[in-house]
Chain A
Amino acid sequence: MAREIMESVHATSHVQRSFDPVTVRADFPALHQDVHGKPLVYLDTAASSQKPNAVIDAMTDFYRNDYSNVHRGVHLLSQRATDLYEGARSAVRRFINARNDREIVFTRGTTEAINLVSRSYGRDHIKEGDEIIISAMEHHANIVPWQMIRDMTGANLRIIPMNDDGELLIDEYKKLFNDRTKMVAVVHVSNALGTINPVKEMIEIAHSWDVPVLVDGAQSTPHMSIDVQDLDCDFFAFSAHKMYGPTGIGVLYGKEELLEILPPYQGGGDMILSVTFEKTLYNEIPNKFEAGTPNIAGAVGLKAAIDYLSQFDLDEIARYESELLQSATERVKEFTGLTVVGNAAQKASVLSFLLCAVHPHDIGTIFDQKGVAIRAGHHCAQPVMQRFSIPATARASFAMYNTTDDVDRLIDAIEYVLEVFS
């Protein structure tokens, strides 16, 4: 008896479903449609992912059956909504292996999470002449908030340079530290180049200077398993919508001792213990950072996305996606005149490219007519474009639901562009 119970506990914490892209595709209703008369090939997951039925249904069920505000009522629905919301927090904690639920703050997304840290940390801990290190391949979401703090405090931004393959220069990074360095904010996987940065090593270097590190995990969470304790990052930000969850919700993980000392980001309901006109006592973490009615259905959807992903062995998904990216890269490189932008040794999901003199925007339109959805533009990373002296790239990004058929269609679409522009 005891042995049976042990085994069943064991089984639920392990892979329940072997990964197969074809059956995974069947879980995503939006993938099964025609655009411009052609079956859709969705290669724009880096911008936002499609959603599995599990997520759509969980959110609909919640609104149909359990919806109410959280943390407020004594009635049953409020209890259910609160349990689901807090249950989502625990699911996130397990998903990124945080120590406890108090370290998980729900935000609108990566952008808000970074703004929260830059504002709250910046207010008390960044002074004139201090330095904040970011990298040359950051998304605007991890540049602009730090510029705002720089301009408020008189601090300076230092930029980790990268090489022509799109890899950060770690030796140069080491040289940026001094006793005025107050924060490092770096992207885990670049949305413009696909580079996987050696964040663990970078965090170790920063910690040797006693400098905390924020990792922008918007593009890593969908494609690899994340262990914030192993990384030892101080903050980790990500968005549900890039990892098969809904829009409007994301997460800031922060080490408990850091979250404790940060002042609140916004004021309002839920983040207080008591309010008089003279004085307000703030709530404990994480509620201190969650002013107002949160995105409850979003949290439910995020938990469903985590549960969906957790059926699989995430390393197996990562291997599959990596092989797909590699074979797509090799095949597109056979076109003379095609240049891949971002050739780091360690990459995930993203294939950014230029095609002869054809502007990426034209590529995007022509692909679309062939049913192939990609992103064309600067990908909210204009400094990356400036680094490579290009106005934009065409970007195909791969996810667990893409297959080699999608790569075939990508190749056909490139041929068609060349034909039109011949």
Chain B
Amino acid sequence: MDEIRELYQEVILDHNKNPRNFHVMENADAELEGYNPLCGDHYTFYVRYDDSETKRIAEVSFTGNGCAISKASASIMSAFIKGKTKDEAEHYFNLFHDIVVGKKSAADHIEELGKLAAFAGVSEFPMRVKCATLPWHTLHGAITGEDTTISTE
């Protein structure tokens, strides 16, 4: 497979075309904008927690637009993160980051990564790392109580 196919895998193209959880959330517990000034990717993320003691993430949704990588990343993240605690979300935020910058190999974490593994190809495209991580940075900001727009610059 060439590097472009490695980057634009079927899953990514599918989530870009039909993003999941792509809507405004009325009763969100947290809401935050993410913006990549370089290419204009611009999203708003919404988070709702459940009533359990650990306040698991019950739902993440998003709106906005940007490139295929950022949109698919947002979509896959929104599905993946459902039911996770804040600590677990933090763990995956770090792991995802390490995979897309090439610090860790996706092959070593294939089980826990699930669909996130589709983003392993991003590490060959340093200019696109910010596209993949923008949704994660923004979600991270939302759950840690940031209230100003997250910018990747």
Q: How many A-B residue pairs have CB under 8 A?
A: 51
By a CB distance below 8 angstroms, the chain A residues around B2 are 369
Least distance between A128 CB and chain B CB atoms (Å) = 32
Alpha-carbon distance between A391 and B42 when the two chains are bound, in angstroms: 9
By a CB distance below 8 angstroms, the chain A residues around B41 are 361
Contact A391 B3 (CB under 8 A): no
Using known A-B contacts A377-B40, A391-B42, A392-B39, determine if residue A359 contacts B66 with beta carbons closer than 8 Å. yes
Contact A365 B66 (CB under 8 A): no
Contact A420 B39 (CB under 8 A): no
Contact A359 B67 (CB under 8 A): yes
Contact B65 A369 (CB under 8 A): no
Contact B8 A421 (CB under 8 A): yes
By a CB distance below 8 angstroms, the chain B residues around A369 are 2-4
Q: Does A258 contact B (CB under 8 A)?
A: no
Q: Does B127 contact A (CB under 8 A)?
A: yes
Using known A-B contacts A359-B67, A365-B128, determine if residue A377 contacts B4 with beta carbons closer than 8 Å. no
Alpha-carbon distance between A377 and B37 when the two chains are bound, in angstroms: 10
By a CB distance below 8 angstroms, the chain A residues around B66 are 359, 361, 391
Contact A392 B8 (CB under 8 A): no
Contact B4 A366 (CB under 8 A): yes
Least distance between B36 CB and chain A CB atoms (Å) = 9
One of A358, A376, A420 near B4 (C-beta < 8 A): A420
- For B42, the closest partner residue in chain A by CB is A391
Contact B69 A362 (CB under 8 A): yes
Least distance between A181 CB and chain B CB atoms (Å) = 33
By a CB distance below 8 angstroms, the chain A residues around B38 are 377
Using known A-B contacts A362-B68, A365-B127, determine if residue A378 contacts B4 with beta carbons closer than 8 Å. no
Contact A361 B4 (CB under 8 A): no
By a CB distance below 8 angstroms, the chain A residues around B8 are 362, 366, 420-421
Least distance between B63 CB and chain A CB atoms (Å) = 14
By a CB distance below 8 angstroms, the chain A residues around B128 are 361, 365
- For B3, the closest partner residue in chain A by CB is A369
Contact B40 A362 (CB under 8 A): no
Contact A358 B68 (CB under 8 A): yes
Alpha-carbon distance between A104 and B40 when the two chains are bound, in angstroms: 37
Q: Does B13 contact A (CB under 8 A)?
A: yes
- For B13, the closest partner residue in chain A by CB is A421
Least distance between A370 CB and chain B CB atoms (Å) = 9
Contact B13 A361 (CB under 8 A): no
Alpha-carbon distance between A360 and B70 when the two chains are bound, in angstroms: 13
- For A377, the closest partner residue in chain B by CB is B39
Alpha-carbon distance between A362 and B66 when the two chains are bound, in angstroms: 10
Alpha-carbon distance between A186 and B30 when the two chains are bound, in angstroms: 44
Contact A392 B13 (CB under 8 A): no
In chain A, positions 307-358 with a C-beta closer than 8 Å to chain B are 357-358
Contact B65 A365 (CB under 8 A): no
By a CB distance below 8 angstroms, the chain A residues around B67 are 359-362
By a CB distance below 8 angstroms, the chain A residues around B131 are 361
Q: What sequence of 0s and 1s flags, for each residue 97-128 of chain B, a beta carbon within 8 Å of any chain A beta carbon? A: 00000000000000000000000000001011
Alpha-carbon distance between A357 and B41 when the two chains are bound, in angstroms: 14
Contact B39 A365 (CB under 8 A): no
One of B68, B125, B127 near A359 (C-beta < 8 A): B68
By a CB distance below 8 angstroms, the chain B residues around A391 are 40, 42, 65-66
Least distance between A171 CB and chain B CB atoms (Å) = 32
- For B64, the closest partner residue in chain A by CB is A391
- For A382, the closest partner residue in chain B by CB is B40
In chain B, positions 65-80 with a C-beta closer than 8 Å to chain A are 65-69, 71
- For A420, the closest partner residue in chain B by CB is B8
Alpha-carbon distance between A366 and B6 when the two chains are bound, in angstroms: 12
Known: A369-B4, A392-B40. 17 other contacts (CB 8 A): A36-B3, A357-B17, A359-B67, A359-B71, A360-B67, A361-B67, A365-B7, A366-B4, A369-B3, A376-B39, A377-B38, A391-B40, A391-B65, A391-B66, A416-B4, A420-B8, A421-B68
Q: List 17 A-B contacts (CB under 8 A).
A: A358-B68, A359-B66, A359-B71, A361-B128, A362-B69, A365-B4, A365-B7, A365-B127, A366-B4, A366-B8, A369-B4, A376-B39, A377-B40, A391-B42, A392-B40, A420-B8, A421-B68
Shortest beta-carbon contacts, A-B, top 3: A359-B67, A361-B67, A391-B40
